């Protein structure tokens, strides 16, 4: 099972975390991945100084802009 977590702390919220969550949820639904992905929100990943919203896949943290969410999901999660 792949663990995916999106930061929803105040800084990431302002950077578009809600839009990334919606895009990921839609892609999980479209691809029938409910039993393969543990998707959750994390209050704060303490990555506020970095550009974009903090998203962890497994133990690796990435930084995304909302407009890159679907491309990232396809490359890093579906491609895994």
Q: What digits encode the pLDDT tens for the residues 3-28? A: 999 999 999 999 999 999 999 999 99
- Could you give all domains of the chain from N- to C-terminal order, each with its CATH number? 2-78 (3.40.30.10)
> Beta strands 2-7 and 53-57: pairing type?
antiparallel
Average of per-residue pLDDT across 51-76: 95
User: What is the C-alpha separation between 29 and 47, in angstroms, rounded?
Assistant: 28
For 2-52, where are the E strands, in sequence order?
2-7, 37-42
pLDDT of residue 35: 94
| pLDDT beyond 70 at 80 | no
């Amino acid at each position: 099972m792949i663990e995916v977590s999106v930061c929803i702390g105040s800084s990431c919220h302002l950077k578009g975390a809600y839009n990334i969550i919606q895009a990921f949820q839609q892609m999980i639904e479209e691809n029938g991945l409910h039993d393969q992905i543990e998707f959750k929100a994390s209050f704060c990943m303490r990555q506020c100084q970095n550009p974009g919203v903090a998203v962890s896949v497994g133990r690796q943290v990435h930084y995304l802009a909302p407009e890159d969410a679907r491309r990232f999901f396809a490359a890093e999660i579906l491609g895994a």
